[in-house]
Amino acid sequence: MIRLATALTLLTTLVSGVAWAGPPAGRGAAGHGTNILVVGVDSRAGLSKAEKERLHVGGKGCNCTDVMMLVHLSQAGDRASVVSIPRDSYVEYADGSGVRGKINGAYARGGGALTVKTVEKVTGLHVDHYLETGFKGFEQAVNGLGGATLCTDKALRDENSGLDLSPGVHHADGRVALRYVRARHIERPGDLGRVRRQQRTVSDLLTRLTVEGALADPAAAAGTARTLLKSVRTDKGTDLADLVRIGTALGRLRAERTEFATVPIKDFDHRVTGVGSTLVWHEGRSRALWEALAADRRITGDRRIQPVPETPAPTNPAGIKARVDDASVAAALRAGGFVVTDISAAAPKVRPAGPPLIRYAPGRESDAATLAAALPGARRQVVPGHDAHLDVAVGSRPVSVKKVTYDRNVAEGAPTTADRLGCLVRPARRQ
């Protein structure tokens, strides 16, 4: 039977021993709704050599938080907002030292207690509950659930995590799912792509639990919570009733009532001596995010959190090389940030009828979409064996080139709902 323990463990998108604790006494007054800080710790403690090899988690752990999510359950119980806080976020620790560093370092400095206080300091929110996980429990939870749905439109390979996933939708066991949510060295390096994959995995798992009615029965949830309490430690701030309430609240929600977002970032590579590359939050957008949660409001559709550009682009034009057979269109695209080679000298004297045609290699769909956004009405054609350039053949129809806006926050972490985030419903391959 699917259990509340599984749901809560999967919500962390991480990994092994679970520990709940209420907030230390003497902190700020609670706001509207309930805030749960969920973290996954990068530690190999307690894992045998065989387990490390099976989970592909060799090497030395940092004794820091590897994943951090703040889950807000609305006061009315009709909405959940899950906000990922990237591990490299540059913040000031809440230990009175004035020291600044990556937010994942708070755990090494003062464990879960300092992690909670630091999150409260930088968000202005009161944390009501704290959940901590490790590697092994995630694998066990996914296996107990009967596997997880993973999806990708391109091959994903990461030597560090051991991930090797072909394009499509896959039914994976806990071992493969763990590699999927841990991978950091695929696509664009760093955490935001990984965070989105974690959110997608959580979204699909929670949707599945809801569809199966696994959390809809308080009696069943209570039995599961009692089982959970036999193997975890809690303080007096978190009891059986809390676990039942959280589980049943999640089980009642439809996919469109569960929101996912990542803290908006201003600087994706802020270098700090002795700390390394860090992420600096976008002050205005992140403040609007925390204010919305404090006021128990939706975060999707809030333009203070995520302004909507006139012509959004899924990828950065500066990384797209294109060959264009019209001089004026080539110049306009170059002015818009694309890397353009003008091949108008080789253009046909008689243009083919219709709008521009973009030809590109398989796997370049996102870049083609960006280029098509700059050329409204353009057609797209995948060409096996095509080189790294995207080719634009301008047709007989007049072309109006638009300047596109690439915002990495939009592309990788914009607020969205579970029904828009999850995998497509189609047959899954076994992994």
Confidence of residue 131 (pLDDT cuts 50, 70, 90): confident
228 pLDDT higher than 60: no
Average pLDDT, the chain: 82
Beta bridge partners of 157: 164
pLDDT at 73: 93
* Dist. CA 57–CA 42, nearest whole Å: 9
Q: Which parts of 299-378 fold into alpha helices (H)?
A: 327-335, 365-374
Phi, psi torsion values for 169, nearest 5 degrees: -105, 130
pLDDT at 2 over 70: no
- Taking the C-alpha atoms of residue 85 and residue 407, their distance in angstroms, rounded to an integer, is 18
Average pLDDT score over residue span 146-167: 84
β-bridge mates for residue 381, sequence order: 359
CA dihedral angle for residue 163, residue 383, residue 316, residue 70, rounded to 10 degrees: -40
**Is residue 367 a contact partner of residue 339, using CB atoms and an 8 Å limit?**
no
Average pLDDT estimate for 22-39: 63
pTM (two decimals): 0.82
The pLDDT of 232-246, averaged and rounded, is 62
CA distance 271 to 269: 6
More confident position, 113 or 193: 113
Give the separation between CA 231 and CA 8, rounded to whole angstroms.
14
Q: What percent of the chain has pLDDT over 70?
A: 80
Q: What is the CATH number of domain 4-308+412-430?
A: 3.40.630.190
pLDDT tens figures, 286-325: 999 999 999 999 999 999 999 888 999 999 999 999 999 9
Domain boundaries, the chain: 4-308+412-430, 312-406
**What confidence tens digit (pLDDT) does each residue in 74-125 have?**
999 899 999 999 999 999 999 999 999 999 999 999 998 999 999 999 999 9
Residue % of the chain over a pLDDT of 90: 47
For residue 30, what is the DSSP state? P
